[in-house]
Amino acid sequence: MSPRSAVLAEQITARFDGRLQQVPSRTGELTYEVGKADLTEVARALRDESAFRFETLVDLCGVDYLGFGQAEWDTTTATGTGFSRAAVREVIVPDPAASFDPRRFAVVYHLLSISANQRLRLRVFTGSDNPPVLPSLVEVWQSADWYEREAFDLFGILFEGHPDLRRLLTDYGFIGHPFRKDFPVSGNVEVRYDPDKERVIYQPVSIEPRVLVPRTIRDDNRYLPDLKEGPARG
């Protein structure tokens, strides 16, 4: 961590006490976890107070932590039949009624202070609500407007107080939230022109999902365990 980041970290600890939890980082970037209820107040303070002056919200994105740190191919232990050879993709069937793991959905805010030349990352977990809800930050940073629409579109995270929370990137009439980990990469429907009906129709996808390269986690001895960040799921 650079000396200037260390100063900022101290100021944040002094100002917000225990409300911001610092997340350790091996790249020296400042990351804090914020509680959902504190978000708006913390954001305002970070923007307005002279110690911080984060005038710009550079980026906002949703993250779905479902399946974090899970591999498709076992590489550490050999069974009686040897290492596994084929990847078995677990099909995750979304359950619309269930409440979520409280550390499944998060929204990550990247702040930039142009006057102080500092960056800061905030992460807010949405809790177990289904659908996930967070307060909107459009009032604090105008640039949050489209970013929140995008996070809503792709992850289904609702932002309370957003003036115009519509889908942004997906098609008109799209169903589902495509960047959730339980949404298949090939999608659920495909479109084609139907010569009989003489119009474009939607039908279930005809592509088989397949894995070209299995997701593999290796405990590489170059990355010593004490340097590794713990998985974000606590």
Partner 1 sequence: MAEFQQFTLNFGPQHPAAHGVLRLVLEMDGEVIQKADPHVGLLHRGTEKLAETKPFNQSIGYMDRLDYVSMMCNEHGYVLAIEKLLGVVPPLRAQYIRVMFDEITRILNHLLWLGCHGLDIGAMTVFLYCFREREDLMDCYEAVSGTRMHATYYRPGGVYRDLPDSMPRYRDSRWRSSAEVKRMNETREGTLLDFVEAFTDRFPGCIDEYEALLTDNRIWKQRTVNIGVVTPERAMQLGFTGPMLRGSGIAWDLRKKQPYEVYSDLDFDIPVGVNGDCYDRYLVRMEELRQSNRIIRQCVQWLRANPGPVTVDDHKLVPPSREDMKGDMESLIHHFKLFTEGYTVPAGETYAAVEHPKGEFGVYLIADGANKPFRVKVRAPGFPHLAALDDMVRGHMLPDVVAVIGTQDIVFGEIDR
**Residues within the interface to partner 1 (CB under 8 A):** 25-27, 29, 31, 55-59, 61, 63-64, 68-69, 71, 108, 110, 114, 117, 119, 121, 141-143, 145-147, 167-171, 178-179, 185, 212-220, 222-223, 227-232
19 or 167: whose CB is closer to partner 1? 167
Cβ-based burial of 155 (10 A; exposed 0-12, middle 13-18, buried ≥19) = buried
> Least distance from C-beta 67 to partner 1, angstroms?
8
> Kind of pairing, strands 133-135 and 189-194?
unpaired
CA angle 156/63/189 to nearest 5° reads 50
> Least distance from C-beta 161 to partner 1, angstroms?
17
1 or 37: whose CB is closer to partner 1? 1
> In this structure, how many other beta carbons lie within 10 angstroms of the beta carbon of residue 120?
22
37 or 231: whose CB is closer to partner 1? 231
> Least distance from C-beta 115 to partner 1, angstroms?
9
Distance of CA 193 to CAs 22, 109, 202, 203, Å? Answer: 53, 42, 9, 11
**135, β-bridge pairs:** 160
17 or 220: whose CB is closer to partner 1? 220
> Least distance from C-beta 203 to partner 1, angstroms?
20
CA angle 130/105/177 to nearest 5° reads 70
3-state secondary structure of 54: coil
> Least distance from C-beta 58 to partner 1, angstroms?
6
82 or 195: whose CB is closer to partner 1? 82
Say how many residues make up the chain.
234
Give dist(CA 195, CA 231) in Å, integer.
Answer: 51
